[in-house]
Amino acid sequence: EPEVTQTPSHQVTQMGQEVILRCVPISNHLYFYWYRQILGQKVEFLVSFYNNEISEKSEIFDDQFSVERPDGSNFTLKIRSTKLEDSAMYFCASSDSRGGTETQYFGPGTRLLVL
């Protein structure tokens, strides 16, 4: 069964460093998403991406964040200058979203720890 994959599974970085989280969505899907979950808190939406551009972003997704689909398979989240409060589990998701009715499928997540 097709699945969303994410790399790395864990990443430790120093405050102020740049990190890139990578995702391979399900191959025939059209919509891509990033969510995050701070330990003990709700899963929060960061950004959605369709047709090579951001379709929606949350208040969390400020100028330190960016997303890119560099080729036909990968979808990346870049955090330019990490802060302690960026420590969280980051989930990528994809959907074959026609009219907003389709299931979003989530990857296994990347656990980011900022020291």
Q: How many CB atoms lie within 10 A of CB 114?
A: 19
- At its nearest, how many Å lie between other proteins and the CB of residue 30? 11
Candidate list 29, 107, 112, 114; residue touching other proteins; CB under 8 A: 107
**Does the protein bind other proteins through residue 65 (CB under 8 A)?**
no
Q: What is the 3-state secondary structure (H, E, C) of the chain?
A: CCCCEEECCEEEECCCCCEEEEEECCCCCCEEEEEEECCCCCEEEEEEEECCEEEEECCCCCCCEEEECCCCCCEEEEECCCCHHHCEEEEEEEECCCCCCCCCEECCCEEEEEC
Candidate list 77, 105, 112, 114; residue touching other proteins; CB under 8 A: 105
C-beta closer to other proteins: residue 56 or 68: 56
Count of residues interacting with other proteins (CB under 8 A): 28
Report the site for other proteins in 5-64 (rule: CB under 8 A).
Answer: 31, 33, 35, 41-45, 48, 50, 55-56, 58
Under the rule (CB under 8 A), what is the footprint of other proteins? 31, 33, 35, 41-45, 48, 50, 55-56, 58, 89, 91, 97, 99-109, 111
